[in-house]
Structure 1
Amino acid sequence: MATSGHTVKAFDEDLGELRALVAEMGGLAEAAIDGAVQALTRRDLEAAARIVQADKRIDAIEHEVERRVVRLIALRAPLADDLREVIAALKIAGVIERIGDYAKNIAKRVPLLQDMRGIEPLAILPAMARAASEMVHDVLNAFAARDAEAAREVSVRDREVDDLYDSLFRALLTYMMENPSNIGASTHLLFIAKNIERIGDHATNAAEMIYYAATGEQMPERARGADALAPAV
């Protein structure tokens, strides 16, 4: 910024509050991912319902981030690096809101899978969810530290989530072919797996935003799917 004194201090305070809100959103989203998968594996309807309800808090924080960004830009007129960071905070808040929606979608399917028993491919889901949740956690740390290299490392790990999804997809397809009575439950699990895969994609999108905010350059090309922004199922 081209200002000094109390204006710079005020901007730093505003930006710190923005970072805190984004961090709070991210923590809630991480908890929602972990809780939704635990509710699924335990067939815990009450826990699943709590996750669906808690998504409202994530939405509310996103709205507060939007309000503060508009106010900050209007009052402080940030330039260059500062403006990139403010816009990154706004975009990342939107990404986290979508991640919260994916976790909510997983929780909503828990009641539909109450009768599933002995579906071996289900064992892959916790590992997949853990990998995606760790990506979310680490990309938020990269944002807080404005660490472009950490953001790039997160983007590389999206391949792990994609590989787990591919493994689960093949396993469920085989499972359905062997016993058509498993098609219903297996289809729900495929939708859940796709939501987790999308979480990894969105963490990667956030990593790209952080990289740009920190460096002013686009993240180098990497091998990944082009469907990261598809809607939740």
Structure 2
Amino acid sequence: MPRINFQQQLVALKDKLLAMAALSQQALSLALEAYLTNDLSLCEHVKEIEAAINAAEREVDEMAYDLLAKEQPMAIDLRFILSVIKINGDLERIGDQASGIAHRAGAQRGLEQIELPIDIPDMGEKVGIMIRRAIQSLLEADAKLAESVLAMDDEIDDMNRIVQAELVEVMQKHPEISGQALNAIIVSRNLERSADHATNIAEDVIFWVRGSDVRHKFSLAQAE
């Protein structure tokens, strides 16, 4: 009976984490929409969701640490709980990046809406795919799907570098639109960091399912 109760607690922990993941995805999506459409009413929703994310982070941590202390889990159950604690932190940080994008949307107030030589919507869509796949891999304990997230990270890094280079050049040639360019640079950086957090989540899923640590694996392979 105690073991059955433990498994039920693990399911409850996973469900709580998945609910938090949905909030993080929603916050990032709304923040990006606010920035792209100049709909500042969405920024308040992002702020409310971020508060809910912060509360959920505390609850998930408490549940996870209680299980570690009271149940002393072994093997895959231990790896799962340790992964949950780390994923929990990455989800909270995705919420922070969403808040940063919402802040940039607010900073656009009063600035002329101009078209910049970059594709933030495409970058945002790819980051959204990474986050969704990372969460799906957690839901299904699918290490192979998690690996597909890792493979996308370099593309987002490249996109961010291109945005930075393009917009620095824009600011040099057209200082009158430096405000808009700077906002876009910061939003691109927020998206790149969100992709990093999705990658971290995917790595933790692989650790949970396979018991293997794949952090830095791809960067090391490239360096050889």
TM-score, normalised to structure 2's length?
0.92
Instruction: Name the residue aligned to 2:200.
Output: 205
Partner of 2:106: 111
- Extract structure 1 runs of 4+ deviating beyond 2 A: none
Q: Secondary structure at the match of 1:219?
A: coil
CA shift at 1:26, angstroms?
A: 0.9
Q: How does 1:188-203 map to 2 (within 5 A)?
A: 188-203=183-198
Number of residue pairs matched? 218
* 1:187 has 2:147 as partner: no
Question: Which residue of structure 1 lines up, in the alignment, with residue 13 of structure 2?
Answer: 18
CA distance in 1, matches of 2:165, 2:119: 11
Matches of 1:133 and 1:28 in 2, distance apart?
Answer: 13
Q: CA deviation at 1:181?
A: 0.9
> 2:116: which partner in 1?
120
Aligned to 1:143: 138
1:223 maps to what in 2?
219
- Taking the aligned partners of 1:192 and 1:97, their CA distance within structure 2 comes to 17
After superposing the two structures, state which structure 1 stretch, 38-47 or 159-168, moved more: 159-168
Structure 1 segments unaligned to the other structure (5+ residues): 1-5, 225-233
Gaps in structure 2 of 5+ consecutive residues: none
TM-score where L is the length of structure 1: 0.89
Query: In 1, Cα distance between the equivalents of 2:106 and 2:99?
Result: 13
Counterpart Cα distance in 2 of 1:54 and 1:187: 26
Kept in 1: contact 2:31–2:46 (CA 8 A): yes
Separation (CA, whole Å) in 2 of partners of 1:35 and 1:116: 21
Aligned partners of 1:18 and 1:120: how far apart in 2? 43
Aligned CA RMSD, in angstroms, stands at 1.5
Quick one: distance in 2 between partners of 1:184 and 1:162? 23
Q: What is the deviation of 1:135?
A: 0.8
Identity of aligned residues (%): 28
Q: How much does 1:172 deviate?
A: 1.2
Opposite residue 173 of structure 2, the aligned amino acid is E
State the shift of 1:75 in Å. Answer: 2.4
Equivalent pair of 1:151/1:210 in contact (CA under 8 Å): yes
Structure 2 residue identity aligned to 1:222: F
1:154 aligns with 2:149: yes
**CA displacement at 1:8 relative to structure 2:** 2.3
Take 2:157 and 2:112, find their aligned partners in 1: how far apart are those partners? 25
Match in the other structure for 1:73: 68
2:214 & 2:140 partners in 1: Cα distance? 17
Residue from 80, 85, 88 that aligns with 1:90: 85
d(CA) in 1 for partners of 2:160, 2:115: 16
